[in-house]
Structure 1
Amino acid sequence: MRLLLIEDDAKTANFVSHGLSEEGHVCDILNNGQDGLFHTLREQYDVVIVDRMVPDLDGLSLVKALRSAGNRTPVLFLTAVGGIDDRVEGLEAGGDDYLVKPFAFAELLARVNALSRRPPAIAERTLLQVADLSMDLIRRRVTRGGKTLDLQPRELALLEVLMRADGRVLTRTMLLDRVWGINFDPGTSVVESHISRLRAKIDKPFRTPLLHTIRNTGYALHAPR
């Protein structure tokens, strides 16, 4: 394997690098986060090992920047910051594993090997598109024909579910569950009223309707067929 170790403590870096080399791995060493980010985006590594407290760019910010750039290289945090909240923060930032110093090299090696065996992550979709209707999932921004549409949070959630269905029909019960988290019929017209408001915003100002009511079945969002 080709590994990158981002660690500013020379003693730790030499210990880890020497151990990995003895196991037959190639281990590059960098002592700051800026260089670590540059090399990870430019080079191909099987696993990146990073200390949270490296200079120039801390480990958390480095991993967040990697994930924002779409880089899915497995990352192992190796750090003395070991509280529960710290571990959660590291994993939520995009880290794949978290090992606290002091550590046993055998455990580090086992975790690195486990990360390298994971199947490649599929990049998450950040843009949904149906005909000329687009939803930017990061900015939560909807446009149609280049025009920005003003949708309320629940309308956004409803539209996202419909767009992710790729033209399949979704029943009223399915929409209640996926948008409102309701797994029973509340006896209200909440779905119908939101569909009506959504249609008024994404269809009525435009020539071609995309949101279709399937009689006695449900709703579907698709381009004209």
Structure 2
Amino acid sequence: MRILLVEDDEKLNESLAFQLKKEGFLVDACRDGEEALYYIEENIHDLILLDRMLPLLSGTEVLARMRQARNETPVILITALGTLDDKVTGLDSGADDYLVKPFAFEELMARIRCIARRPRRMTQDDQLALGDLTYYLGENTLTGPKGSCSLSRREGTLLESFLRNPGQTLSRPLLLTRVWGMDSDVEEGNLDNYVHFLRRRLKSVGSAVSIKTARGIGYRLEAG
């Protein structure tokens, strides 16, 4: 699971990010509302932990803009505002859960597990298609003329980036950010490896869709 942590308190931000990574999560962290929206527009996270009191844009404003853009990523609001009215306002703004500071990390983990157990409502957004190829996001399954195969999480994120921008050359820095995160120091060769993996997946399901190399720039996905 990939988590976006939005918390303006530097020490709490660092502490939560450290503990979440120890639990095996991929974590992107930021400290203000405008930066949060920048991350959210990448649409690469499975869960957002969102502080309500943020610089530049409040957490509820960030949440409202998310939902207006039809981004249904689960959100847990984290805040010191703990009255009943505060909770009702936060939940009515589109939050999936509400956690009041101070809290034990074990409680946060329990709430994350609860959200992860919820069945996802299937919509058209749960599948992406191009030519003879269909990718089912919730199941990380790729289907073509000769059958289906499962993708790893990173393979799925990379393929999703291509399928949402068919025929468009995506730069190497953009793809690295979407698959590994903005603060990752991953080597560029890892991107080439995952493109190679995806090409093998496309071949295994018999698809005519192909990934083309734009030398020195990046890659693009083309229908056969």
| TM-score of the two chains, using structure 2 as the length reference | 0.53
Report how far residue 71 of structure 1 moved. Answer: 0.3
Query: How is 1:12-91 mapped onto 2 (pairs within 5 angstroms)?
Result: 12-91=12-91
Report how far residue 120 of structure 1 moved. Answer: 2.6
RMSD of Structure 2 on Structure 1 (CA): 1.5
Cα distance in 2, alignment partners of residues 83 and 122 from structure 1: 34
Report how far residue 37 of structure 1 moved. Answer: 1.4
Query: How is 1:133-152 mapped onto 2 (pairs within 5 angstroms)?
Result: none
Report how far residue 116 of structure 1 moved. Answer: 2.2
Structure 1 SS opposite 2:27: strand
Aligned to 2:132: none
Letter in 1 for 2:93: A
User: Which structure has the larger Rg over C-alpha atoms?
Assistant: 1
Letter in 2 for 1:65: R
Q: Does 1:104 align with 2:104?
A: yes
Report how far residue 122 of structure 1 moved. Answer: 5.5
| Deviation by residue 1:70-99 (Cα, 9 ceiling, x = unmatched) | 000000001111111000000000000000
| Deviation by residue 1:6-60 (Cα, 9 ceiling, x = unmatched) | 0110111111111111111111101111111121121311110010001111000
Change (3 A) 1:121 1:52: farther
| Deviation by residue 1:172-201 (Cα, 9 ceiling, x = unmatched) | xxxxxxxxxxxxxxxxxxxxxxxxxxxxxx
Structure 1 SS opposite 2:72: coil
| TM-score of the two chains, using structure 1 as the length reference | 0.53
Aligned length: 124
Cα distance in 2, alignment partners of residues 50 and 74 from structure 1: 10
Unaligned residue ranges in structure 1 (runs of 5+): 124-225
Letter in 1 for 2:21: S
Cα distance in 1, alignment partners of residues 122 and 92 from structure 2: 17
